[in-house]
Structure formats: structure tokens, C-alpha cells
Amino acid sequence: MANVVIVGTQWGDEGKGKIVDLLTLYADYVVRFQGGNNAGHTLVVEGKKYVFHLIPSGILYDNKKCVIGNGVVIDPAVLLEEMAKLSASGLPVNPVRLSISHNAHLIMPYHKLLDGASESAKTDGTRIGTTGRGIGPCYGDKVMRAGIKAGDILDRALFQDKLRENIEEKNFLLTKKFGAAPVVFEEIYDQYLAFGEQLAPYIGNVSVELDEARKAGKHILFEGAQGTQLDIDHGTYPFVTSSNTVAGNACTGSGFGPSHIDEVIGILKAYTTRVGEGPFPSELFDETGDTLQRKGGEFGATTGRKRRCGWLDAVLAREAVRLNGITGLAITKLDVLSGHPRLKVATSYQYNGKTYQAMPGNIREVQGLQPVYEEIPGWPEEIGQVRSVVDLPVKARDYVKWIEDLTETPAMLLSVGPGREETLLLKNPFEK
């Protein structure tokens, strides 16, 4: 058996959903371990597009078990809607195919209201660019030991007590601090009890289930959301998400022992993108950036927002390798670079006469970083039809080799298009 973690190496949107979908072929379990419906994974299978926000991408296989770990924050309404849409499209979701950790925290209506009110109250330059889905406030309640867990809504008395206590505090903030309307206890209580009745068959002890699967020799694939530079501890704080996106959280966010992880695959887009606010040293504001955006179809899967685009940043890639313990790279959207006569990669930064080989901790320094680029010839050929590495243009192979050298990490997969078949598997991480 082998257990593999998939993480993003940049600011998210690297194409993790597609790679998870592909590697699920070799796995028995697929586990989502952090984030919420502020993230989206887009897959194209047999010409049909699927977008997942909470359910792991492995749900497209009818013989795999999908798991939502305790590190995920769940909006029950969104989850149930996603389950209904999948069932309507011929992919029934049932407890045999999906488990939910009883320790996963729930996003409540007041979390979304507070998220929106807090972001609106900020001035230009201080806004984070959140999705407004209540993710941050929910994680905040979790840390403050005030959160409501999935298992709590199965106990009426416990849920009632926790909800009353929360609503008293949240209504004070909504009305006194933000001048918003209060939430109504009875409405939320009745709504979430109904959610609990629908989700009860799915909720249980995920840690025990995964350990039993490991002992039975099952292959387990852990699916992260967002990317390394959005990690709450290691990213471009405060322009980050509210959870740990690095590979170490695959264990914390699912109740799985770290000694059982065998491989960590970092998904690296062949260029760099970012959605929302925050620093982006290699961002392009010219026709090249616009071309990458158009050809790459760079719009957020969750928000639809246009992604900012720039050249590949090897500083970020090396940082991701270090922070995650990455053993192999999956390089995505290589096809988008076809037609560029020269390709640039940021190999270091400059700020106030000082050279940086890693991202500094001071956000104002990060915002002032100037990338130092190296160049390599591009290739004119379109590569979407390529199905073997040897058929890639020599200069495309040179670009891949350059990335491997800069990161000191081998490429395991190359993606040359959105479909499953448009992927070159160089090494199967489930084969030891």
C-alpha cells in the first residue's frame, strides 16, 4: 500500500483537481483535509466539466471512497446541494461512497454575515479578497473553542446550547459593530437540525476508518485545497486563507499518522496565477499576462474572478518543496506556454539592494519585491495532442528539465490539456 498527499505549490488554482482525479484511478480512498467551499476543483472528463467545492474529486469513480476530514469547514447547504447535483447527473452519493468527520466544523449563517461585513469594513489595501463564504470566521470560532462540529447537530440539546451561546455573541457583533441585522435562533436551529437528519448517515470517526483502511493495505490519496502561499502560517500573511494548506496538515486534518505518508506530490502550474488581493512578484501587466489569462482560461472555479497571471516563480516553487517535503512535481498547463518565443522564470528577488532566495516574512518587503528573471527559449508547437514525453518539442522538455533543476525535484506528471487523457504520467507515486 502507499499513501500520497497532493498539495498546491503556488497560490492555488494549479490544477489539483485534475491530478487528483487521475491518481484516484490507483487509490482506494480520497481524503479532503482542509479548506471549505472557498476552493473549487475543476475536472473535464469525456468532454464534461465538473466543479467540486467540498466533495473530493475522486467521487467521479464509483468504486472509490471519498472522505471529508476534520480539517475541512463545511457549509451543510452547499454540501447537500453538491451531493444532489452529482446524484442528478448519474453519480449517486451515499454513505458507502462518502464519509464526513464528526469533528469537522460547520459554517453557520452568522459566519458568512460576519465575513462579508468585516471585509466591507476594510479600506483599500487592507482587504484580503475573501470569497465571503464564512471560512475565516468559522476557523476563528474553532480556534476560540466556540465552533459547532458536524457531530454536534446530531445531539439536539448540545446543539441548542452551543447555538444559543454563539448567537448571543454574534448578534452583538453584527448589530453593534457592523450595524447589520441580527440572526434568529429558531431559523438556524430548525434549518441545521434538518441538515443533520440528512447528513447523519455520513458522519462518523474518519480517523478510525482511515486507520482501518491503512491496515487493510488500501491506497489513500490526500487532497489539499488552495496552495502553499495561502497557508495561514507559511503564506503571504495576511493575504492567505484561514487553514494550513501544506502537506503536514494532511495528517492533522484527517487524523492520520505522519509516519504513514509515502509521497508528497506538488502541483506546479507552468506559469503563476493568483486570485484576489495580495503580493505577486512575477505578475505581468502586459500583453503576455493577458495572453496567459485568455489561453489558460484563468477564472476562479469558485468565484469566477479573473486570475492574475505571471511568469513561473522558482522561489515559490523551491519554498513549496521545502515546506511540504515534496517528492515529485506534477507540472500543469504546459500547453498554455506554446507560442512564446522566450520564457522567463523568477529565480530570486531584489528589495532595497538585497537579494532574496526565499520569501521574506515582512509583508511590506514582500509587496516591494522585484523578481530577477532568467530566460530560456520557448517552443512554437501546440502540444495538446502529445501523449508521450519523447514527442514533446525539445524546448518543452528543456523547460521541464529546467524546473526540475531549479527545484531539485523530479517531475512525475505533465499536463498538456484539461482532459484526463491529456496527461503524461512519468512515474506512478502509488508504485513503490
Amino acid at site 46 = E
Neighbours of 164 (CB within 10 A): 11
The Cβ of residue 368 has, within 10 Å, a number of other Cβ atoms equal to: 15
Q: Is 190 a catalytic residue?
A: no
Which residue is catalytic, options 41, 53, 219, 234?
41
Question: Annotated catalytic residue: which of 13, 75, 115, 335?
Answer: 13
Beta-bridged to residue 74, according to DSSP, are 106
Nearest alpha-carbon partner for 373 in 391, 351, 354, 350: 350
CA distance 109 to 57: 26
Q: Evaluate whether 83 touches 93 at the Cβ level (below 8 Å).
A: yes
According to DSSP, the β-strands at 328-332 and 263-269 are parallel
* 300 grid coordinates: 476562479
Crossing angle of helices 185-199 and 76-88, in 10° steps, is 40
314-324 vs 394-407: helix crossing angle, rounded to 10: 50
**Residue type at 366?**
V
Q: Which residues pair with 50 in a beta bridge?
A: 43
Mark whether 105 is an active-site residue: no
Residues with active-site annotation: 13, 41
